Chains A and B, each alone.
Chain A
């Protein structure tokens, strides 16, 4: 994308009111974005910058629809803005 990954806020957000901790998302995601933990919340987004920008595969696999992502058009606009700013520098 020509922009440092840390500047692109694209990663899953878990709605813990809906999540049933089936771990299908973690089982699927090969990039270790999620991490299983002890305690009440057995799953967390531990490595958000490992998430492939614009990939939403984990949300598509989520039965209880507990995973959301930012808006794509807004993220594209942000990436283009950062690139323009970097070009000016």
Chain B
């Protein structure tokens, strides 16, 4: 499939200059069309064909994520994402402070493009799920104003960060709560953790994005990621539709169970947290 690249224009920050360079270089390397965010914002019809015929790569310079927010507003499905400020941190080398690109900025842009192209050629690793969890049927319901938050009761445990886990035969399935999916509203992108990656309890299990926020998925348990839900990679909206069931995110092989339970909440205790959080809003 063809790609189209929507990038930060990058006029007032060094990270923006790198984002712009990444877009140009990635377009040259992959033969993709570049989408100008300013023109897209002003005249979306100009890029209607590019957005419908291509899979979209979004390049943001900083965490303001202007390009992502624009894509979300136009309901464009994002295929891959790059955030330059994260790449700067990961490389642990500050950029030049000038707006025009220096050798460090150029080198970073090239390394981002190299990784992007490598990833484009390799499908997201989504090993098959191994556990067979029953669909929840019983829920606690927390009411707040016109909102109704459903908390499954069977064998779910939660952390205060609105992430659930359920355990079966040494494997845990992990997802986000109904409360969190309603807070995020329409989830447009799931950046999954690496299959095979080792995560400590309260470590990061990738992130979710909506027009409202980036949500860091905080792992309720320690373990090794064994599967990423392929259905959610294809359609992140499934998380909104069924956060406790079909919208699960990852499976993990447990490494510190049952000790991890010490810092987790049962459904009734999590319901109290949801009540408190909803009341604070």
Contacts and interface: CB of A to CB of B under 8 A. Distances in A.
Contacts of B262: 2, 83
A89 to B, nearest CB: 17
A62 B214 CA distance: 11
A32 B215 contact: no
Contacts of B62: 63-65
A52 B161 contact: yes
Contact of B63 (A1, A61, A79): A61
B183 A79 contact: no
- A interface, over-half SS: loop
Given A65-B85, A83-B262, A53 B160 contact: yes
Interface residues of A, number: 27
Interface of B: 62-64, 85, 159-161, 183, 200-203, 207, 212-216, 218, 262-263, 277, 280-281
Given A31-B280, A65-B85, A79 B218 contact: no
Contacts of A52: 160-161, 277
B277 A54 contact: no
B280 A2 contact: no
A55 B180 CA distance: 13
Contacts, number: 61
B72 to A, nearest CB: 14
- Pick the 8 closest A-B CB pairs, nearest first: A63-B64, A30-B281, A60-B214, A63-B62, A54-B202, A31-B280, A54-B218, A63-B63
A23 interface: no
A55 to B, nearest CB: 6
A52 B63 CA distance: 20
A16 interface: no
Contacts of A22: 64
A32 B280 contact: yes
Contacts of B161: 52-55
A31 B63 CA distance: 21
Given A62-B63, A63-B64, A57 B202 contact: no
A84 to B, nearest CB: 10
B200 to A, nearest CB: 7
12 contacts: A2-B263, A28-B212, A30-B277, A32-B280, A52-B160, A54-B202, A54-B218, A57-B215, A61-B213, A64-B62, A65-B63, A79-B263
B201 A57 contact: no
